[in-house]
């Protein structure tokens, strides 16, 4: 860890929607390059980065797209969507000269390694970005839960949840101009105020493992670097 950074190893949670930019669906190349450019900034500082990405820009098991489809089948389709996003991220990282590996919770050896904790930790220690795809590999669990699980397994210092707003607010800042951003908030306070940081399973796992969460806006240039440098960026959810 360098003197410039607060965290040595982080788990970055990206939603699939974060890759869309202003498009209606799919992957926007300019947006994905902006995101990986921010990741490169912190890797260059010596921070080890794992990434969990969702698949909502392509298919989400609980979406209207799934209709009356069997939930487990729909969730597996959503997991495969995350693999597509993970491959796109890997390609974007490598175009910037970063070494990246995709590990999938579902076995698909032709395109991604099967998730293996010791190998993932080795890659992180070597300075490679590890992209964890296919969620937990099980239906009925979200990619938020996968992020909490991988963050705990990788012994990460913090989970960084990238969103389309620059933190957690007292009210919806788009609807209430008087809403103020929380700089820090405890897990208990977030529950009491019914602030939807992430789904309950993921939130409970982070709380139990004392894995703090920083909620921040990935669209803000340099935001990720400011977070890992310990600056006042986003909202820190802590024990």
pLDDT digits (tens, 9 = 90+) for 104-163: 999 999 999 999 999 999 999 999 999 999 999 999 999 999 999 999 999 999 999 999
pLDDT at 61 over 90: no
What sign does the CA torsion over 58, 42, 184, 208 have?
A: positive
pLDDT at 3 over 60: no
- Residue positions forming the annotated binding site: 13-16, 55-56, 60, 75, 136-143, 163-164, 169, 172
Residue boundaries of the structural domains of the chain: 9-162+199-212+223-232
Least confident residue range of 15-19, 66-70, 175-179: 66-70
- Residue positions forming the annotated binding site for ATP: 13-16, 56, 60, 163-164, 169, 172
What is the pTM assigned to this prediction?
Answer: 0.94
- Span 9-24, mean pLDDT? 94
- Span 91-103, mean pLDDT? 98
Q: What mean pLDDT value characterizes the chain? A: 94
Position with higher pLDDT, 66 vs 179: 179
Question: To the nearest whole percent, how much of the chain has pLDDT over 70?
Answer: 99
User: What's 181's DSSP letter?
Assistant: B
Query: What integer pLDDT is reported at residue 173 of this predicted model?
Result: 85
What number does CATH give the domain 9-162+199-212+223-232?
Answer: 3.40.1160.10
Distance CA 53, CA 226 (A): 21
pLDDT at 36 over 70: yes
Least confident residue range of 81-90, 146-155, 170-179, 209-218: 170-179
Distance CA 2, CA 229 (A): 10
194 confidence band (pLDDT: 50, 70, 90)? confident
- Span 179-193, mean pLDDT? 93
Contact by Cβ (8 Å): 134, 69: no
- Residue positions forming the annotated binding site for UMP: 55, 75, 136-143
- Span 35-64, mean pLDDT? 93
pLDDT in tens, 198-223: 888 999 999 999 999 999 999 999 99
Q: Which alpha helices (DSSP H) does the chain contain, by range?
A: 29-43, 71-95, 117-125, 143-153, 187-192, 200-208, 223-228
- Span 29-55, mean pLDDT? 97
Contact by Cβ (8 Å): 207, 229: no
Name residues whose C-beta falls within 8 Å of residue 163's C-beta, 6 or more positions apart in sequence: 15, 18, 215, 216, 217, 218
Query: What integer pLDDT is reported at residue 62 of this predicted model?
Result: 73
């Amino acid at each position: 860890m360098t003197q410039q950074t607060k965290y040595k190893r982080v788990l970055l949670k990206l939603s699939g929607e974060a890759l869309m930019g202003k498009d209606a669906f799919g992957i926007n190349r300019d947006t994905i390059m902006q995101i990986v450019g921010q990741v490169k900034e912190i890797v260059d500082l010596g921070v080890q980065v794992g990434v969990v990405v969702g698949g909502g820009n392509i298919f989400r098991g609980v979406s209207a797209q799934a209709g009356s489809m069997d939930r487990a089948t729909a969730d597996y389709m959503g997991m495969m969507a995350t693999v597509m996003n993970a491959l796109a991220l890997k390609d974007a990282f490598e175009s910037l000269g970063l070494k990246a590996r995709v590990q999938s919770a579902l076995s698909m050896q032709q395109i991604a390694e099967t998730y293996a904790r010791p190998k993932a930790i080795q890659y992180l220690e070597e300075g490679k970005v590890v992209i964890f795809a296919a969620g937990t590999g099980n239906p009925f669990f979200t990619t938020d839960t996968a992020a909490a699980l991988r963050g705990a397994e990788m012994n990460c210092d913090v989970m960084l949840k990238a969103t389309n707003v620059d933190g957690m607010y007292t009210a919806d800042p788009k609807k209430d101009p008087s809403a103020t951003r929380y700089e820090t908030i405890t897990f208990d306070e977030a529950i009491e105020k019914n602030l939807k940081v992430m789904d309950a399973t993921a939130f409970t796992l982070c709380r139990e493992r004392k894995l703090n969460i920083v909620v921040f806006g990935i669209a803000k240039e340099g935001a990720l670097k400011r977070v890992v440098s310990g600056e006042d960026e986003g909202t820190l959810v802590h024990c």
